[in-house]
Amino acid sequence: MLIGCFELKALNEAFEVFCNKQIAGISSAEIFAIFCDRILKKGAEIQFKQSNLKNQNS
């Protein structure tokens, strides 16, 4: 149990370092957020196009 506690603390600290690390003046968390935003926008755009195609064929 004690070892698991230390492993969890080490994992938490490593995650904080990763999230706060700056790459070209932008944090890893910001880069990840931008990446996810673009994927979600593309997915919504594709779904919108498919919906329009279905409506045109009906």
The answer to whether the beta carbons of residues 10 and 19 sit under 8 Å apart is no
What per-residue confidence (pLDDT) applies to 21?
86
Please tell me the predicted confidence (pLDDT) of residue 1.
61
What percentage of residues in the chain have a pLDDT greater than 90?
Answer: 34
Range of the domain at 37: 2-57
pLDDT band at 35 (very low <50, low <70, confident <90, very high): very high
Q: Which residues pair with 22 in a beta bridge?
A: 27
Confidence of residue 33 (pLDDT cuts 50, 70, 90): very high
Structural domains of the chain, count: 1
The H or E element containing residue 45 is: helix 28-57
pLDDT > 90? residue 20: no
Q: What are phi and psi of 25, to 5 degrees?
A: 80, 5
